[in-house]
Amino acid sequence: METIGEHRSFAGTQFVCQHQSQSTGTPMTFAAYVPDSAQDAPAPVLFYLSGLTCTHANVMEKGEYRRAASEHGVIVICPDTSPRGDDVPDDDAYDLGQGAGFYVDATEAPWSQHFRMWRYISEELPALVGDSFPADMSRAGIFGHSMGGHGALVAGLRLPETFRTVSAFAPIVAPSRVPWGEKAFSTYLGMDQDAWRKYDAVALIEDGAKTSEILVDQGEADVFLAEQLRPELLEEACAAASIPLTLRRHDGFDHSYYFISTFMADHIAWHAERLG
């Protein structure tokens, strides 16, 4: 792993790191904020998954998480949303290809060679973080926005022992049932919709997956709310499965980082309280 950026911020340091990924077969870049308190004792760690078109830099520059992470003594890790490079398949549309990995392991050519983001976020990146930073990996949580909220919910439901806490901003809760997800899943995973269910939070809950509780914030002025996000489906699934869900709806807020940054400190405090 190579450190390609390092900046003091509040009582901690913001790193930008790059490494050669075995999962994707490409260089991968991620941001890592490490509070000074982690030098005294290993700190809990939060993984933040970004949405469509984003890199590691969007939340690092606009998410306003460092003050809260410093105050609560939490490491925050922000990976990229897909593999990138001249030899990596891409698409002209913003919702497919580079910047739109959907946190799945693709099975369809040509995507399957590099688009293995599930393996990357669930196995490779946590192992790398545990080896490279003063992180207590027994106290790890995950959260994200939009496509990244989808990835976070799936990770929290499939790997509750790895990611003990899970929250999301405006997540795609049922990608198998909305245009963004249908397009990505059919392209990356093929047309067998049974293969999609392990990457769909609502389907996972219907199939018996559990997590201790979920926090979701959703803006009511989000232009993607009715067609792409559909939080009511998560609400119904959690109620049927007796999974505690706190779904907070906010008048006037849209899908942007103005919305995310407003409630970022709430999410970090929520995770920190539960991770100890």
Q: Where are the domains of the chain?
A: 2-275
Residue type at 116 in one-letter notation = R
Q: What is the pLDDT of residues 36-70, one digit of tens each?
A: 999 999 999 999 999 999 999 999 999 999 999 99
C-alpha span between 247 and 234 (Å, rounded): 9
Residue 79: the pLDDT is 98
DSSP letter string over the chain?
A: -EEEEEEE-SSEEEEEEEEE-TTTSSEEEEEEEEEGGGGTSPEEEEEEE--TT--HHHHHHHS--HHHHHHHT-EEEEE-SS--STTS---SSTTSBTTB-TT-B--STTGGGT-BHHHIIIIIHHHHHHHHSSEEEEEEEEEEETHHHHHHHHHHHH-TTT--EEEEES--S-GGGSHHHHHHHHHHH-S-GGGGGGG-HHHHHHTT---S-EEEEEETT-TTIIIII-HHHHHHHHHHHT--EEEEEETT--SSHHHHHHHHHHHHHHHHHHH-
Mean pLDDT, residues 129-156: 98
Mean pLDDT, residues 98-110: 98
Contacts of residue 275, Cβ cutoff 8 Å, sequence gap at least 6: 44, 74, 139, 140, 141, 164, 165
Residue 257: the pLDDT is 98
Residue 143: the pLDDT is 99
CATH code that applies to domain 2-275: 3.40.50.1820
Residue 221: the pLDDT is 98
Contact yes or no for 145/169 (Cβ under 8 A): yes
Structural tokens at position 1: 């792993």
Residue 25: the pLDDT is 98
Evaluate the CA torsion angle 152, 32, 132, 266 in order and state its sign. negative
Torsion angle (degrees, nearest 10) of CA 171, 176, 162, 60? -40
Catalytic residues: 146, 222, 255
Residue 195: the pLDDT is 97
Residue 197: the pLDDT is 98
Mean pLDDT, residues 195-220: 98
Look over the chain and give the mean of its residue pLDDT values, rounded to a whole number.
98
Beta-strand relationship, 27-35 and 75-79 = antiparallel
Q: What is the pLDDT of residues 9-45, one digit of tens each?
A: 999 999 999 999 999 999 999 999 999 999 999 999 9
Q: What pTM, to 2 d.p., does this model score?
A: 0.98
Within a 13 Å sphere around the CA of 223, how many CA atoms are in the beta-carbon half?
1
Contacts of residue 192, Cβ cutoff 8 Å, sequence gap at least 6: none
- Per-residue pLDDT band for 162 (boundaries 50, 70, 90) equals very high
Residue 14: the pLDDT is 98
